[in-house]
Chains A and B, each alone.
Chain A
Amino acid sequence: MKEVTEVGKLKEGRFIIIDDEPCRIVGFSTSAPGKHGHAKAKIDAVGLFDNQKRTIVKPTSAKVEVPIIERGSAQVLAIVSNNAQLMDLNTYETFELPIPINLRGDVKEGVEVEYLQALGRRKIDRVKG
């Protein structure tokens, strides 16, 4: 699930698709129109799933794809090595996700986590409560 937006409407903290990867924007700066032509934005972004840093420069009027981010809550049913078995608290769907390095130790059996879904892939975002 994605949509198209104008580069000029993006800002830090929003999301963008670069190289087919959904990324979180961690830096956004614009240059005035000048020798290079129309106003440009430099976007620094980090892949949600691969943690790769990506930088692009686009005219602020350019169209780019933005992932639609869906969030859900899930309860941790069990921990199997670095993966968590989860149950969505709305749909009761069960699934397994890797535990991000920065959340290891915090994601424990019984706790509630927020996960996000982008372009059909899911990721544990934070521990709730």
Chain B
Amino acid sequence: MARWVKHIQLRAGMRIDDLVQEMEKCGVFSAGRVAKAVEIYREMLRQKSTIFMGVGGAVVPGGLRQALTDAIRKDLVNVLVVTGANATHDLIEAFGGHHAQGDEQADDVELRNRRISRIYDVYVPQEAFEIFEDNIQPLLAKVLEKGSRISSAELLRRIGLELTDRNSFLKAAAEKKVPVFCPAIADSILGLQIWLYSQDHDIVIDTLKDIKEILELASGAKKPGAVLLGGGVPKNFIFQSMLLTPRSFDYAIQITMDRPEPGGLSGATLEEAKSWGKVAKDAKTVTVVGDTTVILPIILAAVMKRS
């Protein structure tokens, strides 16, 4: 019995990193795991790890767009793998569309009549997707020359460089040379718009090229670390990138609400990833079971350097 559970002490006006320190002293349950995630993240930054962040779920509609942008600008992440939806919703805001606070109890048929789509208690007015279409089509024409055969990461880099909204994570990533992979780009409204464009323009977004590009990054990564928000395609794409290298991830932080029993990747433990050789046997890992919209801001705020 080396360490006792120390009870969390709250003080008026305390800072996030002080709170995390209290959680660390407490050391148990989810608070202890949040503190461990912060400790692992800090170690990754000290070791100058190459940090791969997987962004699954409704992270951008849920209010974490600026957090991603700041994480990129403050060098807290080196490679991003996102779902098409997160890229789409970043672009919706970059083009002047908005996400609104709504009501999860609302009558959804009534919402449909009012041209509103719902993501739990976030409302997306249908105009947002019309604004998206009006802006993305000319942008695709600008960044894709005839005969283009490029990866999703190259497409998102080109799009990011054209944006003027400084709060866009795609813009921040393009400027900071942080590649953003979107291997399931077809599975999104961004993908649907690209397909519409491709009907009469000779272009292909070749997501197999993404494999080659992320493999290069995985091969050259220093003490690779994975930060996984939710699971899905981003989690697997990050983990499989290491399979063709002689190495594994030395660090992994996972935030999820899913359970391992049904066998789905999003709930799979990081221990399980060791059996696949994706995570090193002596890797430092932690899974925080909780809502990313609560957990991630705490972790990022705590690891950001005070300026």
Residues of A that sit less than 8 Å from B by CB: 33-38, 56-59
Contacts and interface: CB of A to CB of B under 8 A. Distances in A.
Contacts of B192: 36
Interface in B248-299: none
Interface stretch (B31-39, B64-72, B126-134, B217-225): B126-134
Contact of B115 (A33, A37, A56, A59): A33
A34 B133 contact: no
A37 B129 contact: yes
A37 B199 contact: no
Nearest first, the 10 closest Cβ-Cβ pairs linking A and B are A37-B133, A37-B129, A37-B130, A38-B130, A56-B199, A36-B192, A35-B129, A38-B133, A33-B126, A35-B189
Nearest to B115: A33
Interface string B130-149: 10111000000000000000
Contact of A34 (B129, B134, B196): B129
Nearest to A40: B196
B240 interface: no
Contacts of A34: 117, 126, 129
Interface of A is mostly: strand
B167 interface: no
Interface string B177-196: 00000000000010011001
A59 to B, nearest CB: 7
A16 B228 CA distance: 48
B133 A35 contact: no
Contacts of A58: 196, 199
A56 B132 CA distance: 20
Contact of B132 (A37, A57, A59): A37
Nearest to B131: A37
B21 to A, nearest CB: 44
A57 B199 contact: yes
B127 to A, nearest CB: 9
B189 A36 contact: yes
Interface string B10-30: 000000000000000000000
Given A35-B189, A36-B189, A57 B196 contact: yes
Contacts of A35: 117, 126, 129, 189
A59 B197 CA distance: 11
Interface in B68-93: none
Contacts of B115: 33
A36 B199 contact: no
A29 to B, nearest CB: 16
20 contacts: A33-B126, A33-B129, A33-B130, A34-B117, A34-B126, A35-B126, A35-B189, A36-B129, A36-B133, A36-B189, A36-B193, A37-B129, A37-B130, A37-B193, A38-B130, A38-B133, A57-B196, A58-B196, A58-B199, A59-B133
